[in-house]
Amino acid sequence: MRLNRREFVGLAGAAAVSSAVPARAGASGVSFAPELDSLKAYRAPDWFRDAKLGFWACWGPEAVPEMGDWYARNMYIQDHPQYEDHLKRYGHPSKFGYKDLVPLWRGENWNPDRLMGLYKKAGAKYFCAIAQHHDNIDCWNSRFHRWNSVKMGPRRDVIGEWRDAARKHGLRFGVTEHLGASWNWFGVSKLADATGPLAGVPYDGVNPKFDELYHTGNAHLDCPWYRNTPESFQMEWFKRIKDLVDSYQPDLLYSDGSLPFGRHGRELLAHFYNANIHRLGGRLEAVYNCKNNNDGGQFADGMCVQDIERGIQDGIKPLPWQTDTCVGDWYYKRDIQYKTPTTVIQMLIDIVSKNGNLLLNFPVRADGTLDAQEEDILARIGDWTAINGEAIYGTRPWRVYGEGSAGPSSGNFNEGKIRYTSDDIRFTTKDGQLFAFALAWPTSGKLLLRSITSGQVHTVQMLQTGEMLKWEQQPEGLSIQLPAQPAGEHAFVLRIQGNV
């Protein structure tokens, strides 16, 4: 189904309002217009700023082969490891294509209520589910796309069940959409091997019977994300994502890239914000994440919350932001080395000290379960947050993010480029208290906080044990005598009371 321009404008609804006066986010009775000057008035709600930690489930047919992310594309690229794996296990993609993998995604052991309990116990304050990857499978009861999880695969309303479980456990609920890049991304399904016994035999994407899955007119190897995408698909994107937003009323919406498609994206974003304001009687609590802004605005203007994929910032940012990363690969991959609990917790501390949130994906297997190692990592994160969470949740950055290495320059895909030592300190503050995180235990038995050279310290307490520690104000900083043995794992936290 395609929309003409008149139908598109009608669907925009509340988004199509005058932009003469920019809206003030959250003001009763005020709407956003689909214009930059209006959308720039957005400010992130307190719930998001306080939450700090969310978990994410990337789950869909791409989990079936257990070969990781982008399988639906890479299986059509000759000589790629995922192509070679597909050839051995399923056959040639001219005969057994991605469409044939979809029925193998069954979710027969999926229990969203149990999983949500694990996420909450691990310290999550919000949960996100992937609504559709670039593979063009809608994981909900889609009104406009028959390739969806209710009609195929597990034959369940995946987004609806994730949402109900999240809200039952008191977590904010988000959805991530990756549809905008799908038209270019799936062009390889129309190509063919360049060499070998089936050279020149087109892959199954050329069959017009499956155009709704693989798209029409997109036969090319390059993947320029949103560029060159036809108007008809841009309007389809609007229609399907609006259906997602209206049907499930998420607290958070995430786009994998910039806000897609110019005016179409602004219409959708204004509608998302306005619908949230209307539903909450004048309050705006919606969050929109995107990774960059190619539509004339800057993240410093507001408009949305910046998301950094697998990356960190090198300092405190004035507006809240988010890192999204995964404990392994985005989709389930067998025999992968996961991030350790220590790595996750150190990342969380660093991100929070710089005014950010961490959204961490635990990829779900095709049957709907996490493996034992993933569950163990969740449990160990939960052990730490249960004791030290008061220094994370609801906090704000101090006057400096910390001491030691700031890490690489801000940007995507820069995680893992720093190894923390006992010289690496991070700070947060809440209710007049200063929290100092030491990312490793010093062998000297003393901790020197060089950022505290003035003011008045009253007490220093270790959160892990509740023990009051001896300290001394010195010209070079606050010197703290630590217990003889390391307290806890991963990182330890000091509560500093006083006026510093």
> Which pLDDT tens digit goes with each residue over 270-279?
999 999 999 9
Residue labelled with tokens 């919606």: 286
Residue type, 51: A
pTM for the predicted model, two decimal places: 0.93
Burial of 202 (0-12, 13-18, 19+ CB in 10 A): middle
Q: To the nearest whole number, what is the mean pLDDT of the chain? A: 92
CATH 3.20.20.80: does it fit domain 5-309? yes
- Dihedral pair phi/psi, residue 477, rounded to 5°: 150, -175
In this predicted structure, the answer to whether residue 304 has a pLDDT above a threshold of 70 is yes
- Dihedral pair phi/psi, residue 227, rounded to 5°: -65, 140
In this predicted structure, the answer to whether residue 22 has a pLDDT above a threshold of 50 is no
Per-residue confidence (pLDDT) for residue 293, from 0 to 100: 62
In this predicted structure, the answer to whether residue 28 has a pLDDT above a threshold of 70 is no
The domain spans of the chain are 5-309, 402-499
- The answer to whether domain 5-309 and domain 402-499 are alike in fold is no
- Rounded to 5°, angle at Cα 122 from 121 and 127: 90
In this predicted structure, the answer to whether residue 24 has a pLDDT above a threshold of 70 is no
Instruction: Please give the CATH superfamily to which domain 402-499 belongs.
Output: Golgi alpha-mannosidase II (2.60.40.1180)
In this predicted structure, the answer to whether residue 6 has a pLDDT above a threshold of 50 is no
Is residue 13 very low, low, confident or very high in pLDDT (cuts 50, 70, 90)? very low
> Which pLDDT tens digit goes with each residue over 34-67?
999 999 999 999 999 999 999 999 999 999 999 9
> Which pLDDT tens digit goes with each residue over 357-372?
999 999 999 999 999 9
**Mean pLDDT computed over 139-165:** 98
> Which pLDDT tens digit goes with each residue over 220-242?
999 999 999 999 999 999 999 99
